[in-house]
Amino acid sequence: MLNREKGAAPLYSQIVEILKAQIENGDFVKGDQFPTEKQMQETYQVSRITVRQAINELVNEGYLQCARGVGTTVVYGKIDENLKNLVSFTDEMKLHGKVMNTSYCDMSLIHAGKTVAAQLEIEPGEECYRLVRVRSVGDEAIVYSITYLKKTREYPLDTSYYMESLYQFLQTNCNTKVVKGRDTLEAVAATVEIGEYLSIPKGVPVFKRVRKAYEENGDIVEYTICYYPGDRYKYSVEL
């Protein structure tokens, strides 16, 4: 199972990649007891030091947790969004008990191109707002989003206003309540740009979600394109 040839990756690193794949594929699920160091030594025919290096790496990356008297358990689990309600990313994370932060934010006023103009139902070249954000849980980027807002209101360009829930900001400060929307989902490969924002290699599978959200009177509020790393996020649909 391990490549022991000269020039190959360190054995502990190879073990890490094997175990990460097993966990992400569901061979081990959140809450499972992980094999002991002795069992792993026998499985991979490596030293105890090598096994400990691999486990420490998986702990640091958020896959495992070690506790005295309990042993090593799996703590990794994809964030599962149930697609039956229109909620903000902040509220999604609260539902899963996750502490969310905004690791990147940029708000600007731009001239809409044809695609954005069509989605916002404005003329090409008209001004609109573009909000680019990376939302993270801990040190892991969970979503890279580009949101376009119609210039029916004056929105501040100060990024401090957009570090938390956008929907909450719109409702509290702009008297704009998002009540309905439409999401379109597809799987795509990460571009260089997406990879840089989400800290993943180019070509890695990501979820792309395109959302158009509306006020109660039917006016469009936002046109948003979101990208989620495929190994950190999943969707379930209630039928």
| Domain limits, the chain | 11-74, 79-236
Rounded distance between C-alpha atoms, residue 24 and residue 230, angstroms: 10
pLDDT at 1: 74
Dmax over Cα atoms in the chain, in whole Å? 67
What integer pLDDT is reported at residue 82 of this predicted model? 44
Q: What is the pLDDT of residues 174-224, one digit of tens each?
A: 888 888 888 888 888 889 999 999 998 888 888 898 989 888 888 898 999
pLDDT band at 51 (very low <50, low <70, confident <90, very high): very high
CA–CA dist 79, 75 (Å, integer): 12
What does 96-110 look like in DSSP terms, one character per residue? TT--EEEEEEEEEEE
Burial class (CB in 10 A: 0-12, 13-18, 19+), 174: middle
CATH number for the 11-74 domain, one of 3.40.718.10, 3.20.20.150, 3.40.50.150, 1.10.10.10?
1.10.10.10
Domain 79-236 matching CATH 3.40.50.80: the answer reads no
pLDDT tens-digit series, residues 29-47: 778 888 999 999 999 999 9
**Tokens linked to 38:** 């002795």
